[in-house]
Chain A
Amino acid sequence: MVNLTIEDRPVTVPEGTTILEAAKVAGILIPHYCYHPGLPIAGVCRMCLVQVEKAPKLAPSCATTVAEGQVVHVYTDKSLEARKAVLEMLLINHPLDCPICDQSGECELQDFTYMEGRKESRYRDPKRFNPAEDFGGDVIYVPNRCILCTRCVRFMDDVAHEPTLNVSERGDRALIGKFEGRDMTHPWAANVIDLCPVGALLSKDFLNKARAWELDRTASICPNCTQGCNVMMETRENQIVRMKPRPNENVNAFFMCDWGRLNYRWMNEKNRAEQPMVRQGGALAATTWELAITAAARALNGKKVFVAASPMLSNESLFLLTELIQGGSGAFRVVEGDEAPLAGVEDLALRRERAANVYGAEKLGFKKTRDLLGGLGQGDVLVVAGEDLAGIDAAALSGASDVIVISSVLPEAAAARASVVLPIANFAEEEGTVTNLRGRVQRFTQARQAPGETRPSWLVLGDLLGALGKQSNFFLPSEVFARLASVNKSFAGLSYDTIGFKGLPLADAPAGPKTPIAVGAA
């Protein structure tokens, strides 16, 4: 450990820490652009210059490691002047088009200019102009806003291990270029949009959709594969408009894949089951929750139950479903795709299995199968929980004595047979936990409001269990989880409080190959 003083505050950090990271420990954010904790150090933006006592020149704090007894000043006249000059120079060729820039409001050039920049520029010559360029994939490049921090270049070279971008040209003519015949279609390429500290690299998907300050941000988990990348779900007027990675050194470092990032529209689905329904005189008719729950309980009572569950459901809901099964069985199926690893980060990939809670579902006793209704016995009550029954013929349900749908969308195949429909919230509309492929339990929270009379799945299932005379009285998902932890050894010792927003492994989680990445506060 090394002891030093930063702005009169004593700090103790491990050997080899940079001054910039040590300053974060002391509660000081030294302005910086090219530095990013997930990338190799470049030391080129010269924004993080600080004064180190006894050093002849200002030191770039991102590239200077701490030394015993060092005294660092961040806010001396000399270092403030230097940073002011860097900001002025970064802005001389910048179009200052914040009113039409997507990055506005979450732009580090704005932030640090407000913090330490000049009020007015002394630049009175023409600005450089380069046209915007489509980089392929989800990425668009606006060179006029670029400050050439090279974060994107380093991400593609050193993290994605697919050199695609470069600094072309020299001097103030320099801009980010693409190598001949390459483009940003690498499955993780869109991370450069998040890494870009300014509005130079933008998402085509998010282009002109919303201003940063209109967004509500919710800590969640990407539901699109078993990796369980930590994300922020960003909504505008109750619609998810974007997902961004949330740093977690044990799961996804600072990144998420393009497929997961762009696959959020299903959570905004408009064609929803919005009201509880029961079959009356051959047709489904809207009713109240009380009557629907009662009807469902009546149908279930004493019967053998087969649950066709969705691996998108939370641990809580799946656990409550197991209580419902009563000697029957449950199965689920998973959509599959190609695995796409991110070469530079250990054990991080877009996984083959494209659902959030495959590991949790198996752990709770659901059988992974390709033939979803294969286990449905003659005369069983079929409970369709979250499953859309896509590709399944209505005839496959004929063996069931009764069909109860607990789902956010009424599956076409079940429409003619369902006797009760209990509409539930989808992944973005409720709170819960999911377990990723390394057995890590992670919390997600509600990002948007569920439509109509829809209720969270754990609440619906809790009520149903209550109506069946089993213990319920769950008022919060955390109570369901506490119950799960008390009866299931794998979940023992875990609670919402201890899991927090970085997740914790199950008691019997397989030892992952992962060594945590050093992740500074992003």
Chain B
Amino acid sequence: MGFPHHPHPRETTVLSKYFGDAEARTLDGWKKRGGYKALEKALGMQPADIVNVVKESGLRGRGGAGFPTGMKWSFMKPGDGKPHYLCCNADESEPGTFKDRELMRWTPHALVEGCAIGAYAIGAETAYIYIRGEFTEPLYWMEKAVAEAYAAGIIGKNAMGTGKRVDVYVHKGAGAYICGEETALMNSLEGRRGNPRIKPPFPAVSGVFGMPTTINNVETLIASAPILLNGADWYKKMSLSNPKSTGTKLFSVCGNVQRPGTYEVVLGFPFKEFLYDLCGGPLHGRKFKAVIPGGASVPIQTMEEAEATLMDYEGFVAQGSMLGSGGVIVIDDAQPMVTVIARLARFFAHESCAQCTQCREGTAWTTKIMERIRDGEGTMEDLDTLLDIGEQMTGTTICVLSDSCAVPVASGIKKFRGEFEALIQGRRFHPVTAAVA
């Protein structure tokens, strides 16, 4: 859905149906559009049945890892005598990703409903929405929606008159990328420094305040409502290629395309058509050069890879990348890859929480070398050093931020080595000649 909120005919708008519809933001408007019916239905079901429906539907985590949501919910064992918590990860801080922002701006009640359903399903009475500090407008709408829902008795001590307690709290982060990592988010929520925790124990055993916790992405929780209303089969049928990837997914497109924006397509949609048709193709006189399809931390795809991709969890992996958060960053031929990658590395170096050595020092070192190469002062040995540091930064740390920094660098050197070598050998990148060549 490009600006200003006209869905493309080839989109399938399940979650983004009311984007641009100001009335849908209010409780009355949302109810008129069928809101809170799913919660009403859910509260009348057994939690285990809700988990089963979600399991059936094949819904997978929309935050990046793609873990089956129903299975994650089933890890929460009922009757263990401990309070359970639901966390909604609304810290959408992955560069290039802004789907959750749109969801919360236009359909805040959908998230309140999703949180209430999720909390009830996992036996939690409290749900926290951890919202990114920079999201001032979504925060405004979310707080308003939660207040409205409380006032109307939809959530609270006696949710929808069923006698069940569902509390939803909105917590504002303070602006750290790492707080989007689930255990760092929990530390931040508890008032500690946002450092990722060592796993195990996993959140389902010891999460927020040391209690069993499930943490889900905004989009995942919102998707649970239509699944409950329309049934698992309806959702399962929405799949264009691999049956393991079901339903619709929001992709936020930015970079050098005609129509950047948030688009909702059924998983398995051809990426080539997505880029050229829905997003309108490259800017005038330019050609696409590369795509980062799932937020800054996934491998860069060349156009050959991107054009052969079917947009689902498996499709991106088959073409050398990952679906990630669905933040598509499109890079055209006027952009020097080294500059792009150096900027990405700088971001990760800035955002490293400084716990693990490889990440704290490795991301900064990578940035220094990348910027040196960018400025024409690199050497050929630097490329080997970069790859070697990257290898040591992968799979050796508590969380994956360090891996995320190594990934674009390694894939960039592998796929665009020519541009690196040209800069090292003293040939400066020239956007005009590069575009014409």
User: Are B395 and A44 closer than 8 Å at their CB atoms?
Assistant: no
Q: Is A47 an interface residue (CB 8 A)?
A: yes
In A123-142, the 8 Å CB interface with B consists of: 123, 125
> Looking at the complex, which one of B198, B361, B385 makes contact with A172 (CB distance below 8 Å)?
B361
Query: Among the listed stretches A78-86, A253-261, A388-396, which one makes contact with chain B, having 4 or more residues with CB under 8 Å of it?
Result: A78-86
> Looking at the complex, which one of B176, B365, B389, B395 makes contact with A57 (CB distance below 8 Å)?
B395
> Looking at the complex, which one of B349, B361, B363, B395 makes contact with A58 (CB distance below 8 Å)?
B395
Query: Among the listed stretches A162-170, A301-309, A417-425, which one makes contact with chain B, having 4 or more residues with CB under 8 Å of it?
Result: A162-170
Q: Is A4 an interface residue (CB 8 A)?
A: no
Q: How far, in whole Å, are A44 and B419 apart by their CA atoms in the complex?
A: 36
Given contacts A46-B396, A58-B396, contact A92 B352 (CB under 8 A): no
Q: Is A241 an interface residue (CB 8 A)?
A: no
Q: How far, in whole Å, are A174 and B381 apart by their CA atoms in the complex?
A: 28
User: Are A171 and B357 closer than 8 Å at their CB atoms?
Assistant: no
- A43 to B, closest residue via Cβ: B198
Task: Count chain B CB atoms within 10 A of each CB in A49, A82, A89, A173 and give the residue with the most.
Answer: A89
Q: How far, in whole Å, are A44 and B364 apart by their CA atoms in the complex?
A: 17
Q: How far, in whole Å, are A109 and B119 apart by their CA atoms in the complex?
A: 48
Q: Is B193 an interface residue (CB 8 A)?
A: yes
Given contacts A46-B357, A46-B358, A125-B369, contact A171 B392 (CB under 8 A): no
In the assembled complex, how far is the CB of residue B191 from the closest CB belonging to chain A, in whole angstroms?
Answer: 12
The proximity string for A residues 32-55 relative to B, scoring 1 for CB distances below 8 Å and 0 otherwise, is 000000000111111101000000
User: Are B357 and A89 closer than 8 Å at their CB atoms?
Assistant: yes
User: Are A82 and B361 closer than 8 Å at their CB atoms?
Assistant: no
Q: Is A63 an interface residue (CB 8 A)?
A: yes
In the assembled complex, how far is the CB of residue B27 from the closest CB belonging to chain A, in whole angstroms?
Answer: 40
User: Are B365 and A125 closer than 8 Å at their CB atoms?
Assistant: yes
The proximity string for B residues 335-370 relative to A, scoring 1 for CB distances below 8 Å and 0 otherwise, is 000000000000001111111111011111100110
User: Are B352 and A44 closer than 8 Å at their CB atoms?
Assistant: no
User: Are B389 and A85 closer than 8 Å at their CB atoms?
Assistant: yes
User: Are B351 and A82 closer than 8 Å at their CB atoms?
Assistant: no
User: Are A47 and B357 closer than 8 Å at their CB atoms?
Assistant: yes
Contact size class for A? 35 or more
In the complex, which residues of chain A have a beta carbon less than 8 angstroms from the beta carbon of B369?
125
Q: Is B398 an interface residue (CB 8 A)?
A: yes
In the complex, which residues of chain B have a beta carbon less than 8 angstroms from the beta carbon of A93?
361
User: Are B358 and A86 closer than 8 Å at their CB atoms?
Assistant: yes
Q: How far, in whole Å, are A49 and B193 apart by their CA atoms in the complex?
A: 25
In the complex, which residues of chain B have a beta carbon less than 8 angstroms from the beta carbon of A43?
198, 398
In the assembled complex, how far is the CB of residue A20 from the closest CB belonging to chain B, in whole angstroms?
Answer: 14
Q: How far, in whole Å, are A44 and B361 apart by their CA atoms in the complex?
A: 13
> Looking at the complex, which one of B176, B368, B388 makes contact with A125 (CB distance below 8 Å)?
B368
Q: Is A90 an interface residue (CB 8 A)?
A: yes
In the complex, which residues of chain A have a beta carbon less than 8 angstroms from the beta carbon of B388?
85
The proximity string for B residues 388-414 relative to A, scoring 1 for CB distances below 8 Å and 0 otherwise, is 110010011110000000000000000
User: Are A81 and B392 closer than 8 Å at their CB atoms?
Assistant: yes
User: Are B351 and A89 closer than 8 Å at their CB atoms?
Assistant: no
Q: How far, in whole Å, are A174 and B369 apart by their CA atoms in the complex?
A: 20
Q: How far, in whole Å, are A19 and B356 apart by their CA atoms in the complex?
A: 19
In the complex, which residues of chain A have a beta carbon less than 8 angstroms from the beta carbon of B354?
148, 167, 169-174
Q: Is B372 an interface residue (CB 8 A)?
A: yes
Given contacts A44-B356, A85-B389, contact A171 B363 (CB under 8 A): yes
- B353 to A, closest residue via Cβ: A170
In the assembled complex, how far is the CB of residue A464 from the closest CB belonging to chain B, in whole angstroms?
Answer: 62
Q: How far, in whole Å, are A167 and B178 apart by their CA atoms in the complex?
A: 15
User: Are B396 and A89 closer than 8 Å at their CB atoms?
Assistant: no
User: Are B358 and A44 closer than 8 Å at their CB atoms?
Assistant: no
User: Are B397 and A46 closer than 8 Å at their CB atoms?
Assistant: yes
User: Are A172 and B396 closer than 8 Å at their CB atoms?
Assistant: no
> Looking at the complex, which one of A46, A82, A171 makes contact with B364 (CB distance below 8 Å)?
A171
- B361 to A, closest residue via Cβ: A89
User: Are A85 and B353 closer than 8 Å at their CB atoms?
Assistant: no
Q: How far, in whole Å, are A57 and B354 apart by their CA atoms in the complex?
A: 21
User: Are A92 and B176 closer than 8 Å at their CB atoms?
Assistant: no
User: Are A90 and B357 closer than 8 Å at their CB atoms?
Assistant: yes
Q: Is A147 an interface residue (CB 8 A)?
A: yes
The proximity string for A residues 155-186 relative to B, scoring 1 for CB distances below 8 Å and 0 otherwise, is 00000000000110111111000000000000
The 4 nearest A-B residue pairs measured at CB: A174-B354, A172-B364, A85-B392, A89-B361
9 A-B pairs besides A47-B357, A171-B360, A172-B365 with CB distance below 8 A are A41-B198, A45-B357, A89-B360, A89-B365, A89-B389, A125-B372, A167-B193, A170-B350, A172-B364
Q: List 7 A-B contacts (CB under 8 A).
A: A45-B356, A89-B357, A89-B358, A89-B392, A125-B365, A148-B354, A172-B360
